[in-house]
Amino acid sequence: MVQTRVGGRVLVKTAFPLGQRRGHVFTSGRHAQGRPELVLLNQPLEAKNSAVTMLEYMASLDFKEGGMVVEGVVVFVATAVPRDKARELLSTTLRALGRRTRLLQLRRAVDKDRFKTAEEEAYIESLSRDMLTRPCSGCGATCGCGDEKYLSSQLGGESVYTGLIATSDGLYKEHDDGSRHKVDATEFNLDESIYDTPIAVVPDDLHPAPATRGSAEMQAAMGTLEATLSAMEANVSGAKRTMLPTEVRTGDLVFRVDARCKDPDCRNCHQMLEVAAVHHGNRGVIVVDDNVPAPFRISLDTIAVSIQGPHWGDGDAMEEEDEGE
């Protein structure tokens, strides 16, 4: 274990088990000041020094759950370590901290406006045309490689289809029914974030307790949620709602329920998010929250209701229905 003193009695320590390529970087001493300890989990060995430097800077900040630090185009988000995970860490790798220590995990993310530039859009257009000229390698889709090419990426070392299609007109995203929409630079980079060599770093769900499909909390909140949506739809022409959707698309609005809320009539625990990208093969949905500077990844089964966005079209837009039944 390596440690450096930040100031006063606060230290930054590292815990990389012998022979392992990943480990943790964490603070020690904040707990005695009434503040949670900060931890960067599962850092690659080659990034250990940069992780230490970053934590040395952030150790003096008054982080709370949901707190963030924006450094250029990089965002660090503080989220609570789940109780079972914290108990495991404090009894093993981080046992130097003591079993009652409160932990906040700092997770790297990307600013949601990072790719909204003319340069990024031009790059995506040229990338699509370039991909058409490249030879296929482990495609995983039988596209024929004529005027369009179905794109694959490495996921866990395996080549998988991404749902992205390169054409001379740009990149397109394929939907479950075979229709498609054109992808901009933001959607492309967020979509690629789940694969082995991403440019954008997207953390998993930043909200600690979303209700899941079939749970008592979600079922209890449905009545109030429907009332909220009915009032919203009265002011939005042509809005189409899907309860318990089996598919969402970029640009949809989705609604979730906080599982910690026990009042079925409470409207403060409804969460509205906009879909920024959808991973092919039910690998997750990336959303943005107006109150959070970074996109994050959620599971489809935490979405109670969706309102269709611009990529459904008149021909395949669905009437209100319950697809989850």
Domain residue ranges in the chain: 2-110, 118-194, 216-322
The number of C-alpha atoms within 13 Å of 254 and in the hemisphere containing its C-beta is 30
What is the pLDDT at residue 145? 58
- pTM score, whole prediction: 0.77
Mean pLDDT, contiguous 10-residue spans, the chain (325 residues): 65 89 92 90 89 87 75 75 88 89 89 91 90 65 66 90 92 94 96 90 85 88 82 68 93 92 78 95 94 90 93 52 43
Q: Whole-angstrom Cα distance, residue 226 to residue 10? A: 49
Q: In what order do the strands lie in the sheet with 180-182?
A: 148-155, 158-167, 170-174, 180-182
- Kindly state the tokens that stand for 96: 């130097």
Task: Give every CB contact of residue 53 below 8 A, 6+ residues apart in sequence.
Answer: none
CATH architecture of 216-322: Roll (2.30)
pLDDT of residue 111: 86
Q: What pLDDT shows up at residue 14?
A: 93
**Predicted pLDDT of residue 12:** 93
C-alpha–C-alpha distance, residues 322 and 325, integer Å: 6
Residue 186's pLDDT is what?
96
Alpha-helix runs per DSSP H in the chain = 48-58, 83-91, 118-133, 185-191, 216-233, 313-316
Residue 75: Cβ within 10 Å count: 22
What pLDDT, on the 0 to 100 scale, is given for residue 7?
59
In this prediction, residue 79 carries a pLDDT of 83
